[in-house]
Structure 1
Amino acid sequence: MDTTTPPVNTTHAPSPQIISQDRVKFSGKAGEFFGIWTVNILLSILTLGIYSAWAKVRTYRYFYSNTSIDGHSFDYLATPIQILKGRILAVAVFVIYSLVIQFFPTFGILLAICLLFAMPWIINQGLRFNMRMTRHRNVRFAFAGNYGEAFINFIILPIASIFTLYLLLPYALKRIDQYMHENISYGNKPITVNLQGEKYYMAALITIGVTIAGLVIFGIILGLTGTAMGIGAIDAENIHPSTIIFPVLIAALYVAFLTLVSAVYQSIIRNHILNNSEFEDVASFKSDLKAVQYAMLLFTNAFAIIFTLGMAYPWAKIRKARLLCSATEVTIYHGAIAIIDTAEQQQSSFAEEAANVFDIDISLT
């Protein structure tokens, strides 16, 4: 009897051949974008908002063209007329909704319910339009979400989280991110996304911890400020410097606190999404955005915009784009060469603009 153990097959699937591995590059400059931004603002005012469609396209094209992977920049393909048509329709719907609410409250409630059911369609169409208008290396992106999944993720789960005292909220946010990203494709290649619910709960707990610690520190400083201002108020003839310095300090700390909390959550979730997403045999991603660095950027951006009455906005936007790109690494594999662009289809911008009018955030990481 032959008792020889058969050889174990230790052969593994070969790793995909890497073409390039590098950080995303951003070459935009604050001075250049300041000129675009200034013209956009002035012409939008002079044309009573009509030029805003051209302003949006110019802004998107500037940032897309200055963002590159492996030496190839992105293209934004939407035209101002597409944006303008969609914006006019969306504003018309919003005006009708506002008038109905004002003069026919009962019908307004029904219209609000209809809008609630229309929201998943608006979100899907907005994402589909944005993806379809984005191109890299002459290959367009696409979005393949459906109404049923969008309704569950954007409507049912957020509402259900209210009845669980928001214990379900991190899971709902995970499902929303999973849905938005896993339905993206590059040409004919869908993306694979594997997000973990526990990561969202961990991010929520860390954010809550930072919030509690910040509130304690904020409360102590506020108490000291009140005491110092009380002392200054007693000496009415000789105003104590603290009555001026401390309120400014409190405002600065408040802004710093909000940006820190926001940066902690955003950095954890952004890193998790990108580190667990890939176009198989085409590209994989890595993000190492640091919460403290991101918080400092958001904080200084906010203060620069406030103290310059908005004039530092272009500088702030360029800084943020540069940091996010530098924190992102993309590995491109040999399979990218075989990507075939899917048949081009004309998309409407109505849904995207409707989403903007009704303040629905459908941005991606």
Structure 2
Amino acid sequence: MENEQPQFRQFTYHGDGTELFKIYIVNWLLTILTLGLYYPWAKASILKYNYQHTEFDGSNFTFHGTGKEMFRGFIKVVAVIGILYGALISAQLSGNTTVTLVVIIVFYIILLFLVPIALHGSMRYRSSRSSWRGIHFGYRGDRGTLTKQFLKDAFLTIITLGIYTSWFINNLRTYIIGNIRFGNITFQYTGNGSDFFWLNLKGRMLTGLSFGIYFFWYQMELFEYFIENVYAEQDGKALPIRSTAKGGDFFVLTLVNGLMLIFSLGLAFPWVQARNFRFFMSNIWVQGDFDGNSLVQTEAEYRDASGDDMVDMLDLDLM
């Protein structure tokens, strides 16, 4: 009896730069006219479009979040960030060096605490409001546990002058991805700090020695590392995730995107975004006997978008 060939399923993005451009134009105009208050609705419209145009195994994803939900979180985040920056500016205007130094220290300590809180809230909201075939994602992490781990790793990163960053990033991914659920599918991340440290060291050294040429292969290796160290499991069956991206593909993508942005004076951003999504989705494959028909809803809804808005405000890109 012949061995069965492994099954592979690919993600596909069908978004169009022209359609995205129309959405962005409306969003930019309304955000300007409302002095920024329209931002949550603008963000929700982009997310809805990109989800609806991302397909897996014949079905598209859905984002259920709304501008109203995000606006509530947006107001909370603006208030918190406003108070922090207000205190910082007031201290600097006081002219008192001691007071300014104390406020700056407190400012960064509070920001350090806000990062894991924001990540936790963002994961709960974004996963809960994301679905495929009516089945919602979920995040079961504990805010206190994540905060303790984050602060410990941040401290080790600081006292090692950044050397511990590779372990910091991988520990964070291990915890967060390990707490993501999709119906009866669980996830785990198997990357480790040591491998990631050497991967980065090699990539940066070869990028320098090649006068930047190796940078695109370095980006390919990072993408491959993060993707292929994520494993899904459904009813005891492993569903490894694979990357098919090549260094040359990254080179062409970056070169063309750069030229588009330069010659359009930035107006080609929606087309660049569509190209990026299409590239990354087309290079992610799920291997194994995935059964979309046996998925069972297990996650509850969560509508507080404060964490998701704070992630944007703090410009976090840790995940």
Structure 1 and Structure 2 fold alike (TM over 0.5): yes
Give the AA of the match of 1:55: A
Alpha carbons of structure 1 residues 125 and 301: separation in structure 2 relative to 1, 3 Å: same
Q: Does 1:93 align with 2:80?
A: yes
The answer to whether the Cα contact below 8 Å between 2:139 and 2:181 also exists between their aligned partners in 1 is yes
Of the three residues 148, 151, 160, the one matched with 1:155 is 151
Question: Map of 1:1-365 to 2, 5 A cutoff?
Answer: 21-104=8-91, 105=100, 106-107=102-103, 109-214=105-210, 217=211, 257=212, 261=215, 263-281=216-234, 283-331=239-287, 333=289, 335-362=291-318, 364=319
Instruction: Give the CA deviation at 1:343.
Output: 4.6
TM-score (norm 2): 0.85
**Structure 1: 5+ residue stretches without partners:** 1-14, 218-256
Quote the offset at 1:16 in angstroms: 11
Instruction: Give the SS at the match of 1:280.
Output: strand
The secondary structure found in structure 2 opposite 1:191 is: strand
**Aligned letter for 2:55?**
S
SS of the counterpart of 2:206?
helix
Give the Cα–Cα distance (whole angstroms) in 1 for the partners of residues 202 and 298 of structure 2.
42
| Closer, same or farther: CA 167–146 of 1 in aligned 2, 3 Å | same
Instruction: Point out the more displaced range, 112-121 or 127-136.
Output: 112-121
Residue 100 of structure 1: how far off its partner (Å): 0.9
Q: Cα gap change, 1:264/1:60 in structure 2, threshold over 3 Å: closer, same or farther?
A: same
Letter in 2 for 1:70: D
* 1:297-322 alpha-carbon deviations (Å, 9 max, x no partner): 12331332133221010111011111
Deviation for aligned residue 1:77: 0.7
Distance 1:196 1:100 in 2: 39
Q: Percent identity?
A: 25
**What secondary structure is seen at the aligned counterpart in 2 of 1:278?**
strand
Structure 2, unaligned stretches of length 5 or more?
92-99
TM-score, length of structure 1 as denominator length: 0.75
Question: Would the aligned equivalents of 1:260 and 1:295 in 2 still touch at CA under 8 Å?
Answer: no
SS at match of 2:163: coil
Distance (Å, rounded) in 2 between the aligned partners of 1:16 and 1:130:
37
Could you tell me which residue of structure 1 aligns to residue 96 of structure 2?
none
* Contact 2:128–2:299, Cα closer than 8 Å, also in 1: no
RMSD (CA atoms) = 2.6
* Secondary structure of the corresponding residue to residue 145 of structure 1: coil
Deviations 1:315-338 (A, max 9, x none): 110111111011111246355433
Aligned partners of 2:288, 2:132: CA distance in 1, in Å? 13
Which amino acid letter does the alignment assign opposite residue 277 of structure 1? V
Aligned length: 305
Contact 1:101 1:109 survives alignment (8 Å): no
In the TM superposition, residue 202 of structure 1 has moved relative to its aligned partner by 3.0
Which residue is equivalent to 1:253? none
Tell me which amino acid in the other structure corresponds to 1:136: W
SS in 1 for 2:181: strand
